Structure 1
Amino acid sequence: MEREGVPHLFASGGAGPRERPRQGRAGRAGGAIFIQMAACGWSRCRALLSLRAAGGSLWGRRGAAPEPRAVHVPSPSLCSESSVSYQELKDLKKANVLHIDVRERWEIERDGKIPASINIPLNELVEALQMHPADFKELYNQKMPAKSDHVVFSCFAGTRSRQALSFAASLGFSRVQHYAGGFEDWAKHESPEKK
């Protein structure tokens, strides 16, 4: 189900990480597990769930899986606390971190922006982070971030920036954080930059 302002994790049709897992033996539980795992950066689970949903097995023949047992799976860094405070963001900006504001363009025009941030609305983010570097530079007037570059996302109050963090991590970006207080918190400390 799609909520307003929240892109659905699975777009219709096509292959790749946006493909909906087939309903089968894994059924809805498999899909729910996939959604939760994908939201935490575990995008490689798609192949396993697709295989299990189709009735396949990692052990070579149908139904030959060992008995289930409890295992501890460490959370990827995305699921741990990855937010930054106002002061941390100020310090990171001195180190030339890429700061992406995922608010809509009309919000930037109306309210202003945090200095030295670039605007890539949330609904464009996944596509933007997969662009050819020359296209990214032309469209956003900024060098395309490498998957190992430090990137901080912000929005108005932290909700969309957390989604942006999840999207970027699922695309392989390893050093991503979000400013949980967002523009709302920044404006309490400093005047925003107006266009």
Structure 2
Amino acid sequence: MTSNVCARLTRGVLRVLASRNVTPVTRPLASCWIHLRCVQHTRVMRYERGVLRNFSSSSQPSTDVSYEQLKKLLVSRSVVVIDVREPWELREYGNIPGSINVPLAQVNGALQLSPEEFKEKYGGNMPLQSQSIVFSCLAGIRSKTALETAVSLGYTNVLNYPGGWKDWAEHEIIQTKE
């Protein structure tokens, strides 16, 4: 592929990806590949000869927290747990003690409220942007989306409990039997 064709391809790819909230990290034209970082999903991708491939970067810290880690954070009172399930799910299945229920569809707006409005609407203290927040749901899918929303709003210390309520309940049942 000539350098001119490669340059046009690169510009076209960057234009399309820019419309999808993806920014370039590196883009050497001679080898015709581009490293990209998806800003919204903090995932690194490589575009090479017409194919976009995802690959993980070992330099990115994990945002997942285990049951044991979450338990320690709750005991130390150094974290705000936000459960992003619908209220009926909490009534039906239960919730992690001390968690605040903010349904996923409301996370973006909730994290932009004033602390007083947040407390009035959700019954808990609004987390600061630098405070540790753990998002939880039923099985870790919605909580990952909530984490991405919080990061896009400037929250810097956010974690995901991928096991969600299912994992929590399973561990709690095991502990009560022991």
Q: 2:71 aligns with which of 72, 76, 90?
A: 90
The one-letter code of the counterpart of 1:158 is G
Deviating beyond 4 angstroms after TM superposition, the runs of 4 or more aligned structure 1 residues are: none
The one-letter code of the counterpart of 1:177 is L
Instruction: Give the Cα–Cα distance (whole angstroms) in 2 for the partners of residues 168 and 100 of structure 1.
Output: 11
Partner of 2:39: 37
Tell me the CA shift for residue 38 of structure 1. 2.1
Structure possessing the higher relative contact order (Cα contacts under 8 Å, 6 or more residues apart): 1
Partner of 1:183: 165
**Structure with greater strand share of residues:** 2
Closer, same or farther: CA 119–33 of 1 in aligned 2, 3 Å:
closer
Instruction: Give the Cα–Cα distance (whole angstroms) in 2 for the partners of residues 167 and 32 of structure 1.
Output: 15
Identity %: 44
Paired residue total: 136
**Larger of the two Rg values belongs to structure:** 2
TM-score, normalised on structure 1?
0.63
What SS does the corresponding residue of 1:38 show, helix, strand or coil?
coil
The one-letter code of the counterpart of 2:19 is G
What SS does the corresponding residue of 1:84 show, helix, strand or coil?
coil
Partner of 1:110: 92
Instruction: Give the Cα–Cα distance (whole angstroms) in 1 for the partners of residues 61 and 88 of structure 2.
Output: 32
After TM superposition, list the pairs within 5 Å mapping 1:30-179 onto structure 2: 30-34=18-22, 36-40=38-42, 80-96=61-77, 97-179=79-161
Superposition RMSD on alpha carbons, in Å? 2.6
Structure 2 residue ranges without an equivalent (≥5): 1-10, 24-37, 44-56, 174-178
TM-score, normalised on structure 2?
0.68
**Structure with greater helix share of residues:** 2
Structure 1 residue ranges without an equivalent (≥5): 1-23, 42-74
